[in-house]
Structure 1
């Protein structure tokens, strides 16, 4: 049975390289405005940044499974977490909240199935994205109710997972509205069984209270580093060893004060321009 949490040692992860997502300068120029990027990513720089990012994951012990390109995928397909979910029963294809990304789940699920990963099914009603799910244990899953994930899809997910998994629904705030990329993991990144980076100003009070009651210590991300620094978007490589976007010195200092080893990467092209940090760029497939 897979190890269902967000902080155990990362053993296997799916990625899509900018060569396969951005493809070319011409594709970037054709799509970046309609996808709400603030400016066009530089293709060559993005590839170099991603090579360095992938190298960090490999040096941490994670085996990489590379996802392919295909017609119909957009620049956003770089952010592979959103299109698939992991579960004790296998991978689950999502129903994307962003219409331009509708083909990603089938492409990713097919590639991972060919690679030998078991599949549990797909969500075919409502909308749900991977950034809105946080596993705390084999039997406890937090799922957002927001603009990218809605109750119809959460109900369908519950049917796939069965009664052994408790789904805790977390209502999200409006924040910047429906066009924004705002997920549950935008405000919460577990780094150990009892430690998480959070942005409390956007956290629902009942959910924050439950985290504290369960003994989770909250490392508060300062407002000036939350947006556009994405300082709350932190990927655990193993408990208290984490990867985050460079340029967030206060958050890094606060994490280190809690005993974390913090590795940073340059992500001007692959993260800041597409609003996707290290958790967005990765689909963890196996932890343990």
Structure 2
């Protein structure tokens, strides 16, 4: 990349970060349909309601034949995110798992491929250690001249084991407050959340400061919006739905079926 191209790329990331931060703080919930490659990103980016692009770490790993959990090489993951960023004209926020061993360096490299925000997991590490990971990620963005938009993920619910649900909610609130103090824009609390739990999280962490995931059994986006949630994403579910459709189509074609007439051509590449 030439110096002028690098400058244009960095300028775009700076502007995108400001736009993404404003989307988190807006009264309307930010709805992101997670993508896993350039093709899925282009399709989602062209939808009228799309305001930002969010990558799915699980989906990217799976598309390359790796299990989730930082098993995919960082270079391969970032090259995929770079292709995604190249084909869309919207802010891109990436799933960076737990930071791949060095959250600061990973954020710097992510910014280099066009990313303006990210999810980083606490993996239920000790609170002080987790807060430092988040602080390091935000500081790395600042050192690159980018107000990096961190959606700090706490695994208080999904890794809570058999402890009482109320204790996990309380832990999520304590961790969330610490991550906001460390510079995070929002706190991602994955898990199927009902209205009462969501209300407790928003009251404890802050209005428009909680991010949730849409899974089977979760509330609708509008319901979370009414409760003060900032963002809803869908993790690996869009890829799961796409692969389910492929499986059903393949079963039909192998049984002498035909391609549905309403199938849209992929003319955007």
Same fold (TM over 0.5): no
Question: Bigger relative contact order, structure 1 or 2, given CA contacts below 8 A and separation 6+?
Answer: 1
Provide TM-score, normalisation by structure 1: 0.31
Provide TM-score, normalisation by structure 2: 0.33
More helix by share: 2
More strand by share: 1
